[in-house]
Amino acid sequence: ETGVTQTPRHLVMGMTNKKSLKCEQHLGHNAMYWYKQSAKKPLELMFVYSLEERVENNSVPSRFSPECPNSSHLFLHLHTLQPEDSALYLCASSRTRSLSGELFFGEGSRLTVL
Amino acid sequence: GENVEQHPSTLSVQEGDSAVIKCTYSDSASNYFPWYKQELGKRPQLIIDIRSNVGEKKDQRIAVTLNKTAKHFSLHITETQPEDSAVYFCAANLPGTASKLTFGTGTRLQVTL
């Protein structure tokens, strides 16, 4: 196992709901990432945290709100989402945020917005 | 920014045959090129990577080649097996922003018996 766990694995929510995705890594890594995976599209980087500081925000709508309380945990808070936000949301970690090394992914949270 | 194109989008080969997936990138300053494999319902996992100071790298049945002049890199799988069936993603780093990898759109490889 890669040591990156995500919960929940599946989530169905209405457009007015508020929910959160959780990611946890036990690898001692310093960087954590949220990616969005949609059908027939490249993996899209959403947010990067390095040592609990947000270092990247790829023009993601404000209805997605990340939180990194410590180097092992990463959350993605969701509110007033749209149906087009339905996708697989992947969390990843790496030893540092220098991308000369491996990304370790979680198994993803499959989100469906009704 | 960096743009990575990946072909083909789907590939079907018979068990034992070879499979080749090709990617091109736009930024000549890119220097790190990983390949990830994602089995159905599973997480993407790194299978091989190459840096711009080498032209080829092998790991058992998997090899990656890099042509910096033409700005393309390829994944080669020999003696394919059913367990090689998955979606394969190439990626290239975006220089100057150490946290960004640009991924290709993926290739769905099906190995048939």
pLDDT of residue B101: 86
Q: Residue B99 above 70 pLDDT?
A: no
Residues of chain B neighbouring A31 (CB-CB closer than 8 A):
99
Name the DSSP letter for residue B70: T
In angstroms, the CA A67 to CA B90 distance is 29
Q: Residue B92 above 70 pLDDT?
A: yes
Smallest Cβ distance to B42: which of A4, A41, A107?
A: A107
pLDDT of residue A97: 72
With CB atoms and an 8 Å threshold, state whether B34 touches A40: no
The pairing of strands A64-70 and A73-79 is antiparallel
pLDDT of residue B95: 65
pLDDT of residue B52: 84
Q: Residue B97 above 70 pLDDT?
A: no
- Using CB atoms within 10 A of its CB, is residue B27 exposed (0-12), middle (13-18) or buried (19+)? middle
B15-70 confidence digits (pLDDT tens) = 999 999 999 999 988 888 999 999 998 999 999 999 888 899 999 999 999 999 99
Tokens of B80: 């394919």
A 36-55 residues with CB < 8 A to B: 40-43, 45, 48, 50, 55
Min Cα distance B37 → chain A (Å) is 11
- In degrees rounded to 5, what are phi and psi of residue A99? -90, 45
B 16-75 residues with CB < 8 A to A: 32, 34, 36, 41-46, 49, 51
pLDDT of residue A52: 75
Omega of the bond leading into A66 within 30 degrees of 0 (cis): no
Does residue B2 or residue B65 have the better pLDDT? Answer: B65
Q: What does the pLDDT average to over A69-76?
A: 94
* pLDDT, chain A, mean: 90
In angstroms, the CA A91 to CA A65 distance is 14
Q: What does the pLDDT average to over B93-106?
A: 77
- In degrees rounded to 5, what are phi and psi of residue A83? -55, -30
Per cent of chain B over pLDDT 70 is: 96
Q: What does the pLDDT average to over B77-89?
A: 97
Contact of A114 with chain B, judged by CB distance below 8 Å, is answered with no
pLDDT of residue B96: 58
Contact of B105 with chain A, judged by CB distance below 8 Å, is answered with yes
In the numeric block, the tokens 């979606």 are attached to B87
Q: Residue A100 above 80 pLDDT?
A: no
With CB atoms and an 8 Å threshold, state whether B105 touches A50: no
pLDDT of residue A113: 94
Q: For an interface test with A, give the residue of B24, B30, B43 to mutate (most A CBs within 10 A).
A: B43
B82: pLDDT confidence band, cut at 50, 70 and 90? very high
Mapped onto helix, strand or coil, the DSSP state of residue B83 is helix
pLDDT of residue B98: 52
Does residue B82 or residue A57 have the better pLDDT? Answer: B82
Per cent of chain B over pLDDT 90 is: 78
Q: What does the pLDDT average to over A87-106?
A: 86
Beta bridge partners of B56: B65
In angstroms, the CA A56 to CA A48 distance is 5
In angstroms, the CA A52 to CA A69 distance is 7
In angstroms, the CA B3 to CA B38 distance is 21
